[in-house]
């Protein structure tokens, strides 16, 4: 046997021995772990309360039962503990729950309203340091409630409130009246130049009665709603934006992915014997694409903000009877849609400037980028300057689709 063949055989032996000697020394069995799907943090009597929703594996298969996981019709269970720090409260769960928490599946972190008023940034430190926790978990404020009151509400089709909220937030692309902000995004906004964060909210709402039997745990009586946003100053909760105001916020910051714009059908335009737009009638445009451009002009020491939005959309609903085959009518609808978006933006800008008196739109970053020398002079006083800056809003709408019909469904032509 040649020397080269001996070396080759020896190398193969070494590879085989290396593979056989490998072992998963850090592995953990599934039945020893508690897979967390949502976490709530509250403050009571100066103590931190941690509430964890934990996935309860569902199976009707006896083969799964033999693995140590018992079949159970309930999608999730809950564990709760108290501590003076978040880490201590999380670890104290091992004193009353029979499995160790596993955070890699968690997508939702909810702060109770009272807790959020005390500041949230420092309390997320443990989740940044823990190798299991996701940096892209979404953070929300429980509006008018404790976090543990929210976590107990499940959707009709979801197995857990964590999955329920995640599915709703992922539908952001269909509705611009909510806000989804991950933990990593929050820290980016928190440390941005001249900016105060805005994060999502969740509200527990009682459903209207329906003619069916409620579930045994009574969760069918409630649902969760993520419309609106939470305004923070540094990291303290100071107020909220409504669903329309957060819609305006998303236009200002260029976060819009989709949604509907409902506006009053314009009045008084005649086409033949048809009067376009009687009082109380609405037109709805579905957003296809938007682009927001913001720039700053400084004249004689006064700062002026220009907000320009280009929007393309599809006519989704018109309940009066407009003949949209007429291009003049389309132009009028486009103008009315633009005015509605301009109103949404102005309402949001005015509220933040007059009520919260701080920059929640990263306008300071634009000043810093366009006028670095000016920013250096005014940065320390920016929150006093921002409420006084003037602004102009210009929205350009193009209706590029009208659906599969060109004539209104309720327009009867004379014979």
Side-chain-facing half-sphere of 152: CA atoms under 13 Å? 13
Q: Specify the pLDDT at position 30.
A: 58
pLDDT category at 74 given cuts 50, 70, 90 is: low
Helix and strand totals (H; E) in the chain: 13, 16
Q: Is the pLDDT of residue 51 over 70?
A: yes
DSSP H helices, 83-196, are 86-92, 113-116, 125-129, 147-151, 161-170, 183-191
In this prediction, residue 357 carries a pLDDT of 95
**Does residue 406 register a pLDDT over 90?**
no
Nearest Cα neighbor of 352 from 383, 380, 374, 378 is 383
Q: How many residues does the chain have?
A: 415
pLDDT at 64 over 50: no
Q: Which of 72-81, 166-175, 216-225, 228-237 ranks highest by mean pLDDT?
A: 228-237
Percent of the residues in the chain that have a pLDDT greater than 90, as a whole number: 54
Residues 230 and 202: beta-carbon distance below 8 Å: no
Res. 59: pLDDT tops 50? no
Cα dist from 60 to 250, 255, 327, whole Å: 45, 43, 60
* Spatial distance between the Cα atoms of 160 and 207, rounded to a whole number of angstroms: 18
pLDDT of residue 66: 39
Q: pLDDT tens, 287-314?
A: 999 999 999 999 988 999 999 999 999 9
Helix pair angle (243-253, 327-351), 10° resolution: 100
Query: Residue range 330-339: average pLDDT?
Result: 93
**pTM of the entire predicted model:** 0.84
- φ/ψ region of 119 (left if φ > 0, alpha if ψ in -120 to 50, else beta) reads left
Residue 23 has pLDDT above 70, yes or no: no
Candidates 110, 114, 94; CA nearest to 102 is 94
Strands (E), 248-341: 260-264, 269-271, 274-276, 282-299, 302-318
Quick one: pLDDT band at residue 237, thresholds 50, 70, 90? very high
Burial of residue 237 (CB within 10 Å: 0-12, 13-18, 19+) is: buried
Mean per-residue pLDDT, 309-321: 86
Enter the tokens of residue 57.
């594996």
Residue 216 has pLDDT above 70, yes or no: no
Over residues 144-148, mean pLDDT: 95
Determine if residue 181 is left, alpha or beta; phi over 0 gives left, psi from -120 to 50 gives alpha, anything else beta.
beta
CATH code for the structural domain at 244-414: 3.30.300.210
Residue 257 has pLDDT above 80, yes or no: yes
**Environment class of residue 118 by beta-carbon count within 10 Å: exposed (0-12), middle (13-18) or buried (19+)?**
middle
Give the separation between CA 370 and CA 377, rounded to whole angstroms. Answer: 14
Distance set, CA 388 to CA 13, 83, 96, 198 (Å): 77, 44, 54, 20
% helix, strand, coil for the chain, step of 5: 35, 30, 35
Confidence of residue 355 (pLDDT cuts 50, 70, 90): very high
Residue 4 reports pLDDT greater than 90: no
- The pLDDT assigned to 38 comes to 94
Give the pLDDT score at 309.
Answer: 98
d(CA 377, CA 129): 36
Provide the pLDDT for residue 25: 52
Question: For residue 379, what are its two tokens?
Answer: 């940065």
Query: DSSP characters for 15-33?
Result: HHHHHHH---TT---GGGE
* pLDDT tens column, 103-142: 888 999 999 999 999 999 988 988 888 878 888 899 999 9
Cα separation, 131 vs 128, whole angstroms: 8
Mean pLDDT of the chain: 84
Q: What pLDDT sits at residue 143?
A: 97
Helix (H, G, I), strand (E, B) or coil at 139: strand
Whose CA is closest to 324, among 263, 415, 399?
Answer: 399
CA distance 53 to 107: 11
CA distance readout (Å), 294 to 253, 323, 414: 9, 36, 49
In this predicted structure, what is the pLDDT of residue 34? 83
């Amino acid at each position: 046997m040649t020397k080269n063949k001996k070396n080759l055989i020896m190398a193969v032996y070494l590879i085989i021995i290396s593979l056989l000697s490998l072992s998963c020394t850090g592995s953990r069995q599934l039945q020893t772990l508690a897979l967390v799907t949502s976490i709530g943090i509250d403050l009571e009597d100066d103590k931190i309360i941690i509430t964890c929703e934990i996935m309860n594996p569902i199976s009707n298969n006896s083969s799964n039962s033999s693995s140590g996981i018992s079949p159970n019709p309930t999608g999730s269970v809950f564990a709760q503990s108290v501590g003076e720090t978040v880490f201590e409260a999380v670890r104290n769960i091992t004193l009353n729950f029979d499995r160790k928490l596993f955070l890699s599946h968690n997508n939702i972190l909810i702060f109770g309203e009272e807790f959020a008023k005390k500041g949230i940034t420092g309390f997320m430190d443990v989740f940044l340091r823990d190798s299991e926790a996701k940096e892209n978990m979404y953070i929300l404020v429980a509006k008018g409630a404790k976090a543990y009151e929210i976590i107990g509400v499940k959707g009709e089709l979801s197995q857990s409130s964590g999955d329920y909220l995640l599915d709703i937030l992922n539908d952001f692309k269909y509705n611009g009246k909510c806000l989804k902000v991950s933990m990593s995004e929050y820290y980016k906004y928190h440390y941005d130049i001249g900016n105060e964060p805005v994060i999502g909210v969740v509200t527990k709402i009682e459903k209207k009665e329906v003619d069916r039997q409620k579930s045994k745990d009574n969760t069918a009586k409630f649902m969760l709603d993520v419309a609106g946003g939470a305004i923070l100053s540094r990291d303290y909760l100071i107020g909220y934006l409504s669903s329309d105001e957060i819609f305006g916020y998303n236009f200002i910051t260029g976060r819009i992915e989709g949604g509907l714009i409902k506006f009053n059908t314009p009045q008084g335009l005649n086409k033949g014997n048809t009067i376009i737009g009687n009082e109380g009638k609405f037109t709805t445009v579905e957003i296809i694409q938007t682009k927001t451009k913001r720039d700053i002009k400084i004249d004689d020491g006064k700062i002026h903000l220009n907000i320009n939005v280009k929007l393309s959309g599809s006519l989704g609903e018109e309940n009066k009877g407009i003949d949209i085959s007429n291009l003049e009518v389309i132009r009028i609808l486009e103008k009315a849609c633009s005015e509605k978006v301009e109103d949404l933006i102005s309402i949001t800008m005015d509220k933040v400037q007059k009520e919260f008196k701080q920059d929640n739109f990263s306008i300071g970053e634009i000043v810093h980028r366009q006028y670095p020398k000016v920013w250096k002079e005014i940065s320390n006083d920016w929150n006093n300057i921002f409420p006084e800056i003037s602004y102009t809003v210009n929205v350009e709408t193009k209706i590029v689709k009208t659906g599969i019909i060109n004539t209104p469904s309720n327009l009867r032509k004379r014979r």
